[in-house]
Amino acid sequence: MKNEKPVSSSVINRLPRYYRFLGELLDKGVTRISSKELSQLMKVTASQIRQDLNCFGGFGQQGYGYNVELLHREIGSILGVTNLTPAILIGAGNLGKAIANQVDLRRCGFQLIGAFDRTDGTAGQQLANLTIQDISELEDFCNVHHPRIAIICVSKQAAESLADHLVRLGIIGFWNFSSYDFAYSHENVSTVNVHLRDSLMTLSYLVSHRDDSPSC
């Protein structure tokens, strides 16, 4: 379902949770669910669920609730996970290898078609059924295979030096594990920045203040 109205980032960030919980319900054989029941599972108010889904037209029926299979399929379509977007991995170190081997990219709508690194001795190694290529081969590869997404697992300096080149090669989205934000220099690309240290420090705060009453 296409949506013509702008959708807030907070709504977009909740869609994967809806998709995940609905998938778990399907696995349990649940065929329909009310917004109240779904809210109890997800710890989100029923009103919030209805508001979020209404951004895309709404899918519930009065007195029936939501058809779990239909809603799961529709949210998957909204998220774009039903289409496999070709992706490449830049940086085949420990983090890059973990992502390629452990993250189910296909289930999230992406197909990893290439992996690149500039470290001596890395090129030629196998990774997730791919042969790691030297970064010098990146341009020729992109001209032939036309990847659209890049998973960035290199340093901030390396990412910044590659930014212009990757965008010129047709990359329109970045799953970015470096500290460089591609959107700073390229406003038209889509970037999801993953700051592992930031999330760990957030956990540190929550643990340190778990007995405190919030002041703001």
pLDDT band at 204 (very low <50, low <70, confident <90, very high): very high
d(CA 110, CA 104): 9
pLDDT digits (tens, 9 = 90+) for 35-79: 899 999 999 999 999 899 999 887 877 667 899 999 999 999 999
Give residue 215's pLDDT. 58
Residue 184: predicted pLDDT:
87
- Alpha carbons within 13 angstroms on the beta-carbon side of residue 186 total 21
Minimum mean pLDDT among 24-28, 159-163, 184-188: which range?
184-188
Once rounded to an integer, what is the mean pLDDT over residues 1-26? 86
pTM over 0.85? The answer is yes
- Residues 150-183: tens digit of each pLDDT: 999 999 999 999 999 999 999 999 999 998 999 8
* Residue 4, pLDDT score: 55
The DSSP string of 52-104 is HHHTTT---BTTTBEEHHHHHHHHHHHHTTTS-EEEEEE--SHHHHHHHHHS-
pLDDT of residue 188: 92
Q: Give me the pLDDT at residue 65, please.
A: 85
Count the Cβ atoms, other than its own, within 10 Å of residue 200. 9
List pLDDT tens digits, range 82-139: 899 999 999 999 999 999 999 999 999 999 999 999 999 999 999 999 999 999 999 9
Tokens 């709508």 correspond to: 109
Domains and CATH numbers, the chain: 9-79 (1.10.10.10), 85-198 (3.40.50.720)
Question: Taking 50 as the threshold, does the pLDDT of residue 1 lie above it?
Answer: no
Cα(65)–Cα(45) distance, rounded to whole angstroms?
A: 15
- Please determine, for residue 190, whether its predicted confidence score (pLDDT) is greater than 70: yes
pLDDT of residue 62: 67
